[in-house]
Structures are given as C-alpha cells and as structure tokens.
C-alpha cells in the first residue's frame, strides 16, 4: 500500500490532470479515483485496474462522497478556467471546493493538495472573477478542517495548454497584439513540472501551506509573445500595443450584453496588469523544483 492511501483526483480530464496521471506510477499508487463528467473521455488515462472514473461534478454530493470514501489524499485540480461568467467561477471554484472539502472532512481524508493560481495574489483583480474565486477557494481550504497544500502556479504552458493557445492567437495575428507595454514580468511553468510537483507532494504527507509554482525563467510579457511569434512565424516582427486601461474598461462595460461574442474578457487582461511571477519564498523541502526551460514549453508550436 502506498503511503498516501487511495487518491481522489478532481480535474483528471483537464490539461494538468492528464499529465499528472501520466506521471503517477500504478505500482506506487494502485488506487486512484477520478471525478469526471464524461468517463469515456478518461479511458486511455486509466492505466491500472484500481484507477477508476467516478462520474459527476463538484455539484454532486453523492459523487463526491463516492470519490473520497477511504481516500488518504485528495488532489483538487477541477476548476472553471478560461472565459466564463462570474457565477460559473463561483459555483465551481468556491462552492464546488466547499462541497469537496466537506466530503473529504466527513470521510477522514488526511490532506488535500490543490491548484490555486498566481492570480489569487494579484493586487489588481478588477473585473477578474476567476482570480477572486481562486482567492476565495484558498480561504475555503484554509478553513475546511482538512490539512491542505496549495500551489499557486503561474501560467502553465506545454503541448495542449489552453493559455498557450490564447497567447498564440494574440502573438500570431497579422500584427501581433500586446496590451500595454508588456514590460511586466512573467514566469511560465511547464505542465510536466506542475505534474512533477503534485506527484512529489504525494510522497511528502506532512507538507502543507501555500507555495508559488513558477518556471526557471522570468521575462517581460512582450518577450514571451515575441518568442511565440518567432517560433511560429520565424521572426518577432513589431507588435501593436493596445492601451490596456481603456480596453479593459471597454470590455468590462460590454460583457453584460455581448459576453458570448467577445473574444476575451476584461479579467483575462489582468495578466497584463500584474506581475505573473512567484515570490522568492522557501520552497517545500524535498519537492522537485520546476526546471524545464521556456524552449520546452513552446516546443509544440509550429507554423
């Protein structure tokens, strides 16, 4: 029996969840239960007889009770991400987490390992309900009565990254687009380094608290966009700089009426208004540090 006992995983079918399952050893972790809305989507990732799908959502208390029954550790990755309405972020990221924590506490789970976001610590969270929901999620975990280890990743890149897809759209438009000067620093992290930190944390059952999770390189946002454009188009080309403040304000005004047709939200532009780096703070002893370089994060990009 592995030292963590059975694992209950939410968000198993997402970008990070699939990479985490690929890194976990079935010999070491023979019992993994995965919450997923459409179990058939997960079939290829369930590599051991004891790795099973539990059909349901974070709104379904019965499914959550089944998910966590007998589990030693919950790994909580599920979230409403990307473009969504404020109520959806609250329903999934705050109220869904609250239900999961209640189920875990009732089942005697020993620890929850969760992914929050660097955005939870953004000083400027105007019009950004994702960020406020992640901050509220952290509060729910802190008060939930189950020891928790919370990671705050920066933007997670790699093959299949939803964030990378969005940045590519901006960077590789006929004229590459940057909101504001693009001088604030970002510190992207490779999805396999995030998965390695999660997997490594399983082996450290007494580690709790909050830790920023960023990659080895810090660079201005504009340099990241230029690197993406160079990779896809062969050269960086000059960028079109749109005024960040007015565009955010205009999107915030337009969202209530035109949400379905807007290409992005005011909140998503918060990444251009806040440093996307992790503070220099002690890193939990024994955990693997992210090391994969930016070149590896962008290697899936092609013309």
Ligand X SMILES: NC(=O)c1ccc[n+]([C@@H]2O[C@H](COP(=O)([O-])OP(=O)(O)OC[C@H]3O[C@@H](n4cnc5c(N)ncnc54)[C@H](OP(=O)(O)O)[C@@H]3O)[C@@H](O)[C@H]2O)c1
Q: Can you tell me which of 7, 77, 100, 178 binds ligand X, judged by CB under 6 A?
A: 77
Instruction: Please report whether residue 155 would count as binding ligand X according to CB under 6 A.
Output: yes
Residues linked to residue 185 through DSSP beta bridges, in sequence order: 220
Closest distance to ligand X from the beta carbon of 180 (Å): 20
Instruction: Please report whether residue 267 would count as binding ligand X according to CB under 6 A.
Output: no
Instruction: Please report whether residue 97 would count as binding ligand X according to CB under 6 A.
Output: no
Query: Residue 72, Cα to own-chain centre: how many angstroms?
Result: 22
Residue 123: helix, strand or coil by DSSP? coil
CA distance 262 to 17: 28
CA distance 108 to 159: 36
Sign of CA dihedral 253, 97, 112, 16: negative
Report phi then psi at 273, rounded to 5.
Answer: -110, -5
Find the radius of gyration of the CA atoms of the chain. Answer: 19
Q: Can you tell me which of 81, 97, 132, 210 binds ligand X, judged by CB under 6 A?
A: 81
Instruction: Please report whether residue 301 would count as binding ligand X according to CB under 6 A.
Output: no
Nearer of residues 11 and 129 to ligand X, judged by Cβ = 11
Q: Can you tell me which of 6, 11, 129, 182 binds ligand X, judged by CB under 6 A?
A: 11
Closest distance to ligand X from the beta carbon of 202 (Å): 16
Closest distance to ligand X from the beta carbon of 35 (Å): 6
Residue 126: helix, strand or coil by DSSP? coil
Nearer of residues 153 and 290 to ligand X, judged by Cβ = 153
- Contacts with 171 (C-beta within 8 Å, 6 or more apart), sequence order: 177, 225, 226, 228, 229, 232
Q: What is the pattern of x (binds ligand X, CB under 6 A) and - over residues 27-46?
A: --------xxx---------
Number of shown-chain residues binding ligand X (CB under 6 A) = 27
Which is nearest to 45 in space by CA: 66, 24, 70, 76?
A: 24
Stretch that binds ligand X, among 26-34, 153-161, 199-207, 249-257 (CB under 6 A): 153-161
Which is nearest to 79 in space by CA: 45, 26, 126, 120?
A: 120
Nearer of residues 147 and 162 to ligand X, judged by Cβ = 162
Under 8 Å between Cβ of 115 and 12: no
Instruction: Please report whether residue 79 would count as binding ligand X according to CB under 6 A.
Output: yes
Q: Which of residues 281-300 bind ligand X (CB under 6 A)?
A: none
Relative to beta strand 148-153, strand 209-213 is parallel
Closest distance to ligand X from the beta carbon of 113 (Å): 11
Residues that bind ligand X (CB under 6 A): 10-11, 13-17, 35-37, 57-59, 77-81, 92, 96, 115, 117, 153, 155-156, 162-163
């Amino acid at each position: 029996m592995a030292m963590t006992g059975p694992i209950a995983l939410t968000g198993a079918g997402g970008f990070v969840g699939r990479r985490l399952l690929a890194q976990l050893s079935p010999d070491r972790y023979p019992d993994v239960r995965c919450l997923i809305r459409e179990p058939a989507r997960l079939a290829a990732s369930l590599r051991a007889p004891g790795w099973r799908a539990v059909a349901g959502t974070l709104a379904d208390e019965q499914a959550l009770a089944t998910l966590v029954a007998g589990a030693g550790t919950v790994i909580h990755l599920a979230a409403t991400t990307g473009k969504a309405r404020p109520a959806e972020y609250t329903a999934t990221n705050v109220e869904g987490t609250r239900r999961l924590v209640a189920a875990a506490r009732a089942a005697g789970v020993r620890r929850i390992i969760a992914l929050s976001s660097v955005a939870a610590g953004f000083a400027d969270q105007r019009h950004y309900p994702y960020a406020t929901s992640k901050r509220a999620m952290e509060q729910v975990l802190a008060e939930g009565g189950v020891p928790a280890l919370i990671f705050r990743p920066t933007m997670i890149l790699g093959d299949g990254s939803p964030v990378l897809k969005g940045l590519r759209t901006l960077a590789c438009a006929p004229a590459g687009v940057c909101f504001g000067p693009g001088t604030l620093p970002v510190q992207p992290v490779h999805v396999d380094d995030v998965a390695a930190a999660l997997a490594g944390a399983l082996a450290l059952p007494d580690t709790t608290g909050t830790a920023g999770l960023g990659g080895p390189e810090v660079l201005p946002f504009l340099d990241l966009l230029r690197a993406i454009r160079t990779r896809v188009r062969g050269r960086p080309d000059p960028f079109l700089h749109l005024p960040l403040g007015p565009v955010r304000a205009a999107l915030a005004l337009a969202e209530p009426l035109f949400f379905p047709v807007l290409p992005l939200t005011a909140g998503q532009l918060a990444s251009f208004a806040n440093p996307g780096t992790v503070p220099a703070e002690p890193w939990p002893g024994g955990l693997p540090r992210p090391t994969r370089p930016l070149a590896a994060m962008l290697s899936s990009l092609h013309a």
